[in-house]
Amino acid sequence: FEGQVYQFLEMSKRRVQDFSSDGAINSKLEKILNGDQSEVEALSNYLFKHKLILDKTLNQNSIISLDGRVLASTDDSSIG
């Protein structure tokens, strides 16, 4: 059981690294952080169409700011 937990954590770490190097995510996130709220929907849709499908064990993807605010998500009710 412990090995499975470590494997899951390692897989999650790689997924985060993948997201952090995605140019489309970085571009849209920069616009959101600069006040362009119209990019929230665009980034959320991008996560849904291009990232959520990469891992069937995930039911939601969210991007969270350093202060804990959900900036974009595949679950619209989580944003804010």
Of 72, 71, 74, 39, the C-alpha closest to 54 is 74
pLDDT tens digits, one per residue of 2-58: 999 999 899 889 888 988 899 999 999 999 999 999 999 999 999 999 988 887 878
Q: What confidence score (pLDDT) does residue 57 get?
A: 78
Q: What confidence score (pLDDT) does residue 54 get?
A: 82
Q: What confidence score (pLDDT) does residue 12 get?
A: 85
Task: Supply the Cα-derived Rg of the chain in whole angstroms.
Answer: 13
Q: What are phi and psi of 64, to 5 degrees?
A: -115, 135
Q: What confidence score (pLDDT) does residue 20 get?
A: 87
Angle between helices 38-46 and 23-33 (to 10 degrees): 160
